[in-house]
Amino acid sequence: SQQGEEDPQALSIQEGENATMNCSYKTSINNLQWYRQNSGRGLVHLILIRSNEREKHSGRLRVTLDTSKKSSSLLITASRAADTASYFCATASDDYKLSFGAGTTVTVRA
Amino acid sequence: ETGVTQSPTHLIKTRGQQVTLRCSSQSGHNTVSWYQQALGQGPQFIFQYYREEENGRGNFPPRFSGLQFPNYSSELNVNALELDDSALYLCASSVKLIKIDDSPLHFGNGTRLTVT
Task: Label residue A2 by pLDDT band (50, 70, 90).
Answer: low
β-pairing, A104-109 vs A85-92, is antiparallel
pLDDT average, residue stretch B20-29: 91
Best A47, A96, A105 member to test B by mutation, with max B CBs in 10 Å, is A96
Contact assessment for residue A1 and residue A96, using Cβ atoms and an 8 Å cutoff: no
Instruction: Look at residue B99 in the predicted model and tell me its pLDDT.
Output: 58
Instruction: Report whether A58 contacts A46 (CB < 8 A).
Output: yes
In angstroms, the CA A9 to CA A13 distance is 14
Distance from chain centroid for Cα A78: 16
User: What residues of B are in contact with residue A92 (Cβ under 8 Å)?
Assistant: 98, 102
Mean pLDDT to the nearest integer, B1-14: 90
Average pLDDT value over all residues in chain A: 92
Average pLDDT value for chain B: 91
Q: Place B51 in a pLDDT band, splitting at 50, 70 and 90.
A: confident
Cα(A21)–Cα(A7) distance, rounded to whole angstroms? 6
| pLDDT more than 70, % of chain A | 95
Provide, rounded to the nearest whole percent, the portion of chain A with pLDDT above 90.
80
Position A41 pLDDT exceeds 80:
yes
Tens digit of pLDDT for each residue in A22-40? 999 998 888 999 999 998 8
| pLDDT value, residue B95 | 81
Instruction: Tell me which residues of chain A have a C-beta less than 8 Å from any C-beta of chain B.
Output: 2, 4, 30-31, 33, 35, 40-45, 48, 50, 88, 90, 92, 94-103
Nearest by CB to B98, from A98, A101, A102: name it. Answer: A98
**Nearest residue in chain A measured CA to CA from B34:** A97
Q: Are strands B10-13 and B111-115 parallel, antiparallel or unpaired?
A: parallel
* Cβ within 8 Å of residue A39, ≥6 positions away: A85, A86
Give the Cα separation of A104 and A101 in Å (integer): 9
Mean pLDDT of A73-84: 97
Spell out which residues of chain A touch residue B90, defining contact as CB-CB under 8 Å.
Answer: 42-43
**B110 at A interface, C-beta within 8 A:** yes
| CB-based contacts of A46, cutoff 8 Å, min separation 6 | A33, A34, A35, A36, A58, A61, A74, A87
